[in-house]
Amino acid sequence: MIESQQLLQPLNYIPADIYFAQDYELLAQGFIPAPSYSYIAGGSGRDQTLAANQAAFSKYPVVPRILRDLIQGNAQISLLGKNYSHPIFLAPVAYQKLAHPQGELDTTRAADATDTCMISSTLSSYSLEEIAKVGAADKWFQLYFQFSREATLDLLKRAESSGYKAIVVTIDTTIRSPSLGALRAQFQMPADCVAVNIQTYEQVTAKHIQHGQSRIFQGVMQEAPTWADLEWLLTQTKLPIFVKGVLHPEDAEKIKSMGCAGIIVSNHGGRSLDGAPASIDCLREIRTAVGNNYPVLFDSGIRSGLDIFKAIALGADAVLIGRLQVYALAVAGALGVAHMLKLLREELELTMAQAGCATIADIRKFNLRTA
């Protein structure tokens, strides 16, 4: 790992030695202080799920199909009645000033330039209002339930009035195992990196625990959202609501039956329950449970267009990119993120061409084997 005094400044050009989107991962280590890199790259606990996320993709080889006419090929999708030129979205990622002084403003600029749907985190280091003003492309807002319903509602209404087009409720990190990597690197959030959206809301603390009570159940979990909160949230907005962090087909079915717009199959990039299955291994079963026409998005472990192809073949309508966006941001700001997205899209289209798929619908019909 590179010492902080040797840190490189973000580039204002695309580095010459980037051939694949994943190349940003290695390069970013020169641009991000080592403790922050550990926080971003790390998972939870002993990082078992983090490792599984990427390794699991290799279980699904793609058998090439030959001699098909692909001259009309494209990677377009339609979601919530809107057309996108590709199925690659930017996942909500907190505290992007950790990677670049322009943080979320630059990732939004990149999304705007590449027809990419950007999902802005509750824990962004620029406010949701500032982010909403960048560019003209549609944006979605990722909502964490707050300590009080008043605060949750306030966030929701702010997102609505700022023009966000959908809400992504993340439900898988009410409680997290600590990241050993970040602990060992003695990571601390820098003073200038603040979750400005929620700065004025009351935060949950463990102060209410009585002697003999559990720090987990009566402590951290005392204000954890439940199904009743999701029911309530659905009555508070006309915006479509996606639920992010779903791995079990029964939960997926329940979310669908409640009237949510869709689900995001995700284990938070291995940052929640350490020991959870690789996200990609949950996809096929969930797609079967909710049927073919219900919107299912996917993330966790994607590092290439080949991975994206596999996620779509296993049932995803679109995918979210987490860490790669932060790495590209650290290396070259908006330019880096836009370049990384362009590379991912080309890698996806290359795989489509080699697998004989002219459209995303063709990928969904592709019979992906399990090695």
Binding part of the chain for ligand FNR, among 58-66, 174-182, 282-290, 316-324 by CB under 6 A, reads: 316-324
Closest by CA to 280, choosing from 320, 243, 323, is 320
Asked if residue 303 lies in contact with residue 23, where contact means CB atoms within 8 angstroms, the answer is no
Which residue from 52, 91, 167, 286 is in contact with ligand FNR, where contact means CB under 6 A?
91
| Number of residues lying near ligand FNR (CB under 6 A) | 23
> Nearest approach, Cβ of 197 to ligand FNR (angstroms)?
10
> Nearest approach, Cβ of 125 to ligand FNR (angstroms)?
11
Q: Please, which residue, 244 or 287, has the CB nearer to ligand FNR?
A: 244
Which residues within the stretch 244-263 sit at the binding site for ligand FNR (CB under 6 A)? Answer: 244
> Nearest approach, Cβ of 284 to ligand FNR (angstroms)?
19
Q: How many Å is the Cα radius of gyration of the chain?
A: 20
Which residues within the stretch 130-159 sit at the binding site for ligand FNR (CB under 6 A)? Answer: 142
| Site map (CB under 6 A) of ligand FNR, residues 18-57, x = contact | ----------------------x------------x----
> Nearest approach, Cβ of 130 to ligand FNR (angstroms)?
16
Binding part of the chain for ligand FNR, among 16-24, 148-156, 280-288, 319-327 by CB under 6 A, reads: 319-327
CA dist 311 to 283, 314, 338, 369, Å?
8, 5, 21, 13
* Segments of the chain assigned E as strands: 77-79, 82-84, 88-90, 118-120, 139-143, 167-170, 241-246, 262-265, 296-298, 318-321
* Segments of 43-136 assigned E as strands: 77-79, 82-84, 88-90, 118-120
Check residue 123 for interaction with ligand FNR (CB under 6 A): yes
Q: Please, which residue, 84 or 187, has the CB nearer to ligand FNR?
A: 187
155 vs 146: CA distance, rounded Å: 9
313 vs 307: CA distance, rounded Å: 10
Q: Annotated catalytic sites, by residue?
A: 268
| Site map (CB under 6 A) of ligand FNR, residues 279-308, x = contact | --------------------xxxx------
In sequence order, which residues have a C-beta less than 8 Å from that of residue 215 and are 6 or more positions away?
A: 206, 209
What is the per-residue burial (b if ≥16 Cβ within 10 Å, else e) of 115-153? bbbbbbbbbbbbbbebbbebbebbbbbbbbbbeeeebbe
Check residue 182 for interaction with ligand FNR (CB under 6 A): no
Q: Please, which residue, 260 or 362, has the CB nearer to ligand FNR?
A: 260
Check residue 170 for interaction with ligand FNR (CB under 6 A): yes
Which residue from 179, 266, 304, 351 is in contact with ligand FNR, where contact means CB under 6 A?
266
Q: Please, which residue, 331 or 362, has the CB nearer to ligand FNR?
A: 331
Q: Please, which residue, 91 or 260, has the CB nearer to ligand FNR?
A: 91
130 vs 105: CA distance, rounded Å: 8
> Nearest approach, Cβ of 158 to ligand FNR (angstroms)?
16
Give strand pairing partners of 118: 90, 139
H/E/C letters for each residue in 193-230? CCCHHHCCCCCCCCCCCCCCCCHHHHHHHHHCCCHHHH
Two structure tokens written together for 245 = 């962090």
Q: Please, which residue, 256 or 323, has the CB nearer to ligand FNR?
A: 323
Check residue 93 for interaction with ligand FNR (CB under 6 A): yes
Two structure tokens written together for 93 = 């990622």
Check residue 241 for interaction with ligand FNR (CB under 6 A): no
> Nearest approach, Cβ of 317 to ligand FNR (angstroms)?
16
Asked if residue 309 lies in contact with residue 363, where contact means CB atoms within 8 angstroms, the answer is yes
Angle in degrees, CA 5, 11, 20, rounded to 5: 105
Contact residues: ligand FNR, CB under 6 A: 40, 53, 91-94, 121, 123, 142, 170, 244, 266, 268-269, 271, 299-302, 320-323
